């Protein structure tokens, strides 16, 4: 489908939409934000007034069926992504879904089935596929800066936060809402980007555990895998380390060097090869989803393609499912 001007409605105008994703809907050429929805009508009105949005709702259906809205951004927790996306597509409106795409791979397949049947596109907010620093990593790999890539090592360690302990946990740690724990919320970005650089992840061996016993979701995951085109990968994610053990590093090892970058720190991309040591700094944009939004708008206008779609994002959900299968989905 082709849209000349994209008039967005946001379902779930929470914190992620304040700076990361909401402003790009308004700042991207040929794109505007027409309506927002939040269950608390006072908060929806407050958001609309602060961001100069014409309409606000407390009911998602009213936004979806608003004739002034022709595309829907779903920024709710993952347990409602499928429901709202299906309604929007059946109403003929493209959807942009926060990551992870859904709680499970099977839910992703349901969403993709409706997309295929209706011809309505799905995009997912894996915005690192469009950020300059991450594209530099992809360029270095594809240009042969380190020769043939042999191995990717991922290490991501974070301390336990005070608000992650107790009975009133954030939804990100409630598997019935999020699909898992912080692996789904944070590691999904890394795994999706590696899919973009090296192709789909195929073989996976992984174990998920809960060591600290502060919540039911996994708090440590150890995995190894192989990408479709042969590159091997290892990953360790731990969310209960000390402040002194914070690590955010992805190391790409090739036959003639290595590339190092971070998923969240926006530190310079490092290249060590036969030509020596180089660093490629890049800034974290104020609105980190702006580059991807420009691609999505171009795609909807028939002028380009988005690097992050429902099909690519579903593959990341499949990887997440396989990594926690023994922990959550013993019957799958």
Q: What is the pLDDT of residues 193-218, one digit of tens each?
A: 999 999 999 999 999 999 999 899 99
Could you tell me how many residues make up the chain? 332
Q: Are residues 164 and 297 in the same domain?
A: no
Q: Are residues 188 and 252 in the same domain?
A: yes
pLDDT for residue 331: 47
For residue 309, the 8-state DSSP code is B
Q: Are residues 181 and 244 in the same domain?
A: yes
DSSP-derived pairing of the beta strands 257-261 and 247-254: antiparallel
* Residue 69, both tokens: 């809205």
pTM given for the model: 0.96
Q: Are residues 138 and 279 in the same domain?
A: yes
Q: Are residues 110 and 190 in the same domain?
A: no
pLDDT for residue 332: 43
The pLDDT of 318-331, averaged and rounded, is 85
Round to whole Å and give the CA distance between 160 and 181.
Answer: 13
Coil, helix or strand for 31?
strand
- CATH number of domain containing 202: 3.30.360.10
246 close to 159: Cβ distance less than 8 angstroms: yes
Q: Are residues 38 and 104 in the same domain?
A: yes
The pLDDT of 9-37, averaged and rounded, is 97
pLDDT for residue 163: 59
Q: How confident is the model at residue 1 (pLDDT cuts 50, 70, 90)?
A: confident
Round to whole Å and give the CA distance between 26 and 214.
Answer: 40
Here the contacts of 37-42 (C-beta below 8 Å, separation 24 or greater) are 37/9, 37/10, 37/11, 37/12, 37/13, 37/62, 37/63, 38/12, 38/13, 38/14
The answer as to whether 62 is a domain residue is yes
- Looking at the predicted structure, is the pLDDT value of residue 165 above 80? no
Round to whole Å and give the CA distance between 10 and 35.
Answer: 6
Domains in the chain, number: 2
The answer as to whether 103 is a domain residue is yes
pLDDT for residue 330: 58
166 close to 226: Cβ distance less than 8 angstroms: no
Q: Are residues 192 and 275 in the same domain?
A: yes
Q: What is the pLDDT of residues 225-276, one digit of tens each?
A: 999 989 999 999 999 998 899 999 999 999 999 999 999 999 999 999 999 9
Q: How confident is the model at residue 134 (pLDDT cuts 50, 70, 90)?
A: very high
The more confidently predicted of residues 304 and 161 is: 304
- Looking at the predicted structure, is the pLDDT value of residue 162 above 80? no
Q: Are residues 280 and 137 in the same domain?
A: yes
- Looking at the predicted structure, is the pLDDT value of residue 29 above 80? yes
**Sequential DSSP letters for 247-306:** EEEEEEEETTEEEEE-SSS-PPEEEEETTEEEEE--PPPSSTTHHHHHHHHHHHTTS---
Q: Are residues 123 and 225 in the same domain?
A: no
Q: Are residues 113 and 28 in the same domain?
A: yes
Q: Which domain holds residue 10?
A: 6-127+289-307
Burial class (CB in 10 A: 0-12, 13-18, 19+), 214: middle
Q: Are residues 99 and 174 in the same domain?
A: no
71 close to 101: Cβ distance less than 8 angstroms: no
């Amino acid at each position: 489908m082709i849209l000349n001007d994209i008039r967005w409605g946001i379902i779930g105008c929470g914190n992620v939409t304040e700076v990361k994703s909401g402003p790009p809907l308004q700042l991207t050429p040929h794109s505007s934000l027409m309506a927002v929805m939040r269950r608390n009508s006072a908060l929806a009105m407050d958001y609309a007034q602060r961001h100069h949005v014409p309409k606000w709702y407390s009911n998602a259906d009213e936004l979806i069926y608003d004739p002034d809205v022709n595309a829907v951004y779903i920024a709710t927790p993952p347990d409602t992504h499928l429901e709202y996306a299906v309604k929007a597509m059946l109403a003929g409106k493209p959807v942009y879904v926060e990551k992870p795409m859904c709680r499970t791979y099977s839910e992703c397949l349901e969403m993709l089935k409706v997309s295929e049947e209706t011809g309505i596109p799905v995009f997912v907010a894996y915005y690192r596929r469009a950020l300059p620093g991450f594209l530099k990593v992809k360029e270095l790999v594809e240009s042969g800066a380190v020769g043939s890539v042999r191995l990717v090592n991922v290490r991501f360690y974070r301390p336990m936060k005070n608000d992650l302990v107790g009975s009133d946990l954030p939804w990100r740690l409630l598997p019935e809402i999020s699909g898992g724990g912080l692996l789904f919320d944070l590691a999904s970005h890394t795994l999706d980007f590696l899919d973009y650089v090296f192709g789909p992840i195929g073989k996976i061996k992984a174990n998920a555990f809960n060591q600290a016993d502060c919540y039911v979701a996994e708090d440590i995951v150890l995995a190894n895998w192989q990408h479709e085109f042969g590159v091997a990968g290892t990953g360790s994610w731990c969310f209960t380390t000390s402040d002194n053990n914070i690590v955010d590093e992805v190391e790409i090892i090739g036959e003639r060097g290595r590339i190092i970058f971070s998923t969240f720190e926006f530190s310079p991309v490092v290249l060590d090869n036969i030509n020596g040591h180089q660093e490629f700094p890049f800034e974290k944009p104020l609105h980190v989803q702006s580059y991807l939004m420009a691609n999505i708008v171009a795609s909807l206008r028939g002028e380009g393609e988005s690097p992050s779609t429902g099909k690519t994002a579903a593959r990341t959900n499949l990887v997440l499912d396989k990594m926690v299968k023994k922990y959550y989905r013993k019957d799958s």
